[in-house]
Amino acid sequence: MRLVFLILFLNSLFLISQSCAYDFVIKKKIKKNPEYKIAYQKLYNEVIENGFLNSQETYYIPVVFHIVYNQDSQNLPDSVIESQIDVLNEDFRRLNANASETRDEFLDVVGDSNIEFFLANIDSNGNPSNGIVRTYTDRTEFLLVDDVFSTEIALDEVKFSETDGSDAWDTNKYLNIWICNIGVLDVFGFELGQVYGYAYPPTDVDDALATIDSNIVPDWPVDMLSSDENVQGVVLHYTAVGRNNSVANDDGMTENNLGRAAVHEVGHYLGLRHIWGDAIAFSGEDGCSVDDGIEDTPNALDQAGYVCDFNKNTCEDDQLNELPDMVENYMDYSPGACQNAFTNGQINVMRTILEISRPGLINNNSSLHLNNFKINQEGNLIHKVDILGREVNTDNSFHVEIFDNGNVKKKYIIR
């Protein structure tokens, strides 16, 4: 009997580990802090009830990719990163080639989120950038958790240089995406499959609350998942990035080669849950009653299991007129080729989350400007020159001071 129980337990984890680790992370946090479940459900319900599309303007989000590699195959070229940006923009703007494959019964509830992404052209210190940081690591892999009983998310170590990862850029201004070799989840010597990514939902919104109309501010617990702003962002397994990735098949799976693992994880980052509500049938949870809390996504008993079955209808008496499971939704565990849509309800949540919880990410065009950045450190003075460019050692009259971080100051001193 114990053996049967163990096999069922491992199987439930295997299904989780085949895609993103969002639900796994959430359950770990609930185990560590039981109050989290209550607080998370409360904030999610209030966003659903109070959120609305405050405007139809396009929100532009700057992205920095941290490529943390041990092998050359993990050090993805710029072209793959650019491809990933293309996929994000096509899918979030409903410009994806397979948008026409959305089934007729869902056409009136899917839409364009008016959210776009661009590689950050300026780093958090105000320096020019291509939005890609490459960091060699001595670590051959980063594990989701050190062991299945741990409540700590060990994969966060990829986000810090002190643990041989890469430090985040200002997470209030950039969407940080870390790419690394995520180790296979292992329990008692059983390999349970590959985690392709995970993301934390929004947390620290205390600065945003003061700027938002009190009538639409949800009761958001600022310590919901982590008080550390430096862990906010998305982590991706290196094989699941872009749709032109030459090492995409190294994980032995072809269903995730279109760059949609990132689309799914950014959906979590902007507050979306899985469309089946993260219910696990093995533990007795009923996905038909748990749901994701969004009205225009039909209930589903469980995730799609990387099968694109358009005949699947696991909750036949749900409130949406017996609609089939929406396996084409980006927030299901479906093959990338099957996914093609966000619903208007999901778009509502993502835009509301941006406005309330991540307002510093919003830009009005796809480029950052130096005047948006405040240089906090003056730097070290390395040259002092006169109007002709000659070195001077005095502060008399006009001179220019040049600092090692690129800052330049003009001074005219009258004595």
- Under CATH, which architecture does the 11-372 domain have? 3-Layer(aba) Sandwich (3.40)
Contact 178, 159 (CB under 8 A): yes
| 171-185 confidence digits (pLDDT tens) | 999 999 999 999 987
CA-CA distances (angstroms) from residue 332 to 42, 263, 329, 354?
23, 11, 6, 22
| All structural domains of the chain with their residue ranges | 11-372, 381-413
Contact 170, 325 (CB under 8 A): no
Is the pTM above the cut of 0.75? yes
Average pLDDT, the chain: 79
At 390, which amino acid appears?
Answer: R
Terminal CA-to-CA distance of the chain, rounded, Å? 91
Q: Which residues pair with 381 in a beta bridge?
A: 403
CA-CA distances (angstroms) from residue 55 to 48, 88, 355?
17, 21, 10
- Closest residue by Cα to residue 68 from 198, 164, 180, 196: 180
Q: Which helix (H) or strand (E) holds 27?
A: helix 22-32
Of 113-122, 296-305, 352-361, 379-388, the poorest mean pLDDT is in: 379-388
Q: What percent of the chain has pLDDT over 90?
A: 46
| Whole-angstrom distance, CA of residue 25 vs CA of residue 378 | 40
- Looking at the predicted structure, is the pLDDT value of residue 328 above 60? yes
* Catalytic sites, residue numbers: 265
| 228-243 confidence digits (pLDDT tens) | 788 999 999 999 999 9
- Looking at the predicted structure, is the pLDDT value of residue 207 above 50? no
Higher pLDDT among residues 392 and 210, named by residue: 392
Q: How confident is the model at residue 11 (pLDDT cuts 50, 70, 90)?
A: very low
- Closest residue by Cα to residue 259 from 65, 72, 122: 65
